[in-house]
Structure 1
C-alpha cells in the first residue's frame, strides 16, 4: 500500500505510539496508554477553557484569534486550537524530548493549516508581541524558575492565559516548593495549596480554577493537576 493511499490513522500509527490520542480530530491512532490516560484527565478542562476564551474573542465569524501553546511537545493543543476555530496558532518547545520531532509530521497528516511550530526555550522567548490566548500547559515542573516563566506567560497573553501544572499531593503546605535536583531539567514541585497561593498573590483575574488527579501517575508527587483560566483586564 502506497503512502498516498494510507488512511490518516495508518499514517499516524506509522509514527509509533504517540504522546496524544487524536480522536478529537476524528482519527483513532495508537497512543501511549500512560500519556493518553492522563490526556483524558486534563483535556476536558483545557479544551473547555480554550472554547470559553474563543467564544469571548469571536465577536463575529470573521473575528481572528491567535493561540500560543508553550511547552507544546507534539503540538497537540496548538493544532487542536485551529481545529476548534482559532484563526492561527503557534507551538513552542525546546525540542529536547522526541515528541516535538513528530509535530510537523502530525500536522501534515491531519492537514492542519495556520499552525506554526517554533523550536525555542521558553526562557529565551522575549515578549515582543502578544497572543490572544496563551496556554502554559505541563511545563512549569521542568523549570528551576517556574514563577518567572509564569509571569512571562501572563505578559505574552493579550486576552486569556490558560495554566495547567502538575502539583505534589505529598503536602498541603502553603509554602511547599521543591526545586529540581542539580543538573536535572525536571522535578520542580508546588503543592496544590502553595501554587494556588502563588496564583492568588498575582492578583490576576481568575475566571475559573480546577483540580483533579492524573490517574496514570502513581507517585503522589506527580499525581495532582491544577488548572486556571485567567482573563487579562483592560
Structure 2
C-alpha cells in the first residue's frame, strides 16, 4: 500500500509540473517527454521491482546529486553542502558553449565522413555534460569515465555512475552513452572530443593525463579546473600535493596553457571566473579552456 501511495503522489506531482510546463512555449517537448518517462519508469519499477529498496521518484529526490538535470527535463536535488550547486552554476554556461563549439568544429572537420562523432568524458561523475551533448544532438556517441573514489568529497562521489545510468535510461540514451568505472589514467579509445571537467587538480601528475588525452583526441579538448587566485601568472607554477590537501595538485593558468601548447593544442578560448563559494585562495578561481588540435598532430591510442 505504501508503494501505491508513493506512486500516486509521484504521478500527481510530476503530471502537475508537466501540465504547467506544457503551457510554456519555451520548454522543449523532449523535456516534457522525459518527465512523462519518469512517471512511466516509476510505475514499471513498482510492478517489476526494478529498483530494489527505492522508488525512482525517491532516487531522483535524494539530495546527493552533483547536478540538477532540469536541462533535460528531469529535476534532481543537488548536494548543497559546501556550495556544490552554486559551483556548478558558475561553470555551466561557459562549458555548454564550449561543447557546442566543439561539436561545430568536429562537424566541419569530419565533413562527409560516415563515422559517428564521439566524446569521452573524464571525471564524468553523473555524466552531466555527456548527457547534455547527446540530448542536444551535439555528438552521437559518448563514454563516461569515473573511478567513483571520494578524493575528499565525501558521500557525494559515491554512486555517481548509477545516477548517470538512471538519467540515461529516462532520456533513452542506451546504446549512445557508455559508463566505465575506472581510473582516468587508464582509459582507452580515440575520440573526437575530450571533456576533462573538474578533475586535473585532483591528481598529482596532470601532465601525464594530458599526454594521454593529446594522443587519443582527434579534434577538441574542453578543460575546466581550479586554479589559485594569488599566484603570479608571469611564470609557470606547479605544486603537489595541493598545499591544503595531502593529495592532488595546484598550478596556474600559464603552466597549463604552456603545457597544452607544447602538446599540439591551440587555445581557442579562455575563461576565468571567481568561485564565490570557495574561500581558500588555492581554490578561488575556475579556469575553462577550449583547445583545438593542430591538424598536423597524429592521433593514436595510448599504449
The TM-score with structure 2 as length reference comes to 0.68
The secondary structure found in structure 2 opposite 1:2 is: helix
Q: Distance in 2 between matches of 1:108 and 1:215?
A: 34
Q: Radius of gyration: which is bigger? A: 2
CA contact (8 A) 1:136 1:153 kept: no
Counterpart selection for 1:138 from 184, 194, 198 = 198
Q: Distance in 2 between matches of 1:101 and 1:27?
A: 16
Q: Distance in 2 between matches of 1:181 and 1:82?
A: 34
CA contact (8 A) 2:62 2:77 kept: no
Partner of 1:208: 269
Report the Cα offset of residue 11 of structure 1.
5.2
- Give the number of the structure with larger relative contact order, counting CA–CA contacts within 8 Å between residues 6 or more apart: 1
Task: Please list, as runs of the form range in 1=range in 2, the aligned pairs for 1:26-175 lying within 5 A after superposition.
Answer: 26-33=73-80, 34-58=83-107, 59=111, 64-85=116-137, 86-96=139-149, 97-98=157-158, 99-113=160-174, 114-126=176-188, 129-173=189-233, 174-175=235-236
Q: Which has the higher strand share?
A: 1
Name the Cα RMSD after superposition.
Answer: 2.6
Q: 1:200 to 1:36 in 2, by over 3 A?
A: same
The secondary structure found in structure 2 opposite 1:118 is: strand
Pick which of 72-81 and 184-193 moved more: 184-193
Q: Distance in 2 between matches of 1:222 and 1:169?
A: 7
Q: Distance in 2 between matches of 1:192 and 1:230?
A: 14
Report the Cα offset of residue 226 of structure 1.
1.3
> What 5-or-longer segments of structure 2 have no aligned partner?
1-5, 15-34, 39-56, 150-156, 296-303
Partner of 1:223: 284
CA contact (8 A) 2:122 2:197 kept: yes
Pick which of 132-141 and 188-197 moved more: 188-197
The secondary structure found in structure 1 opposite 2:85 is: helix
Q: Distance in 1 between matches of 2:221 and 2:146?
A: 17
CA contact (8 A) 2:120 2:195 kept: yes
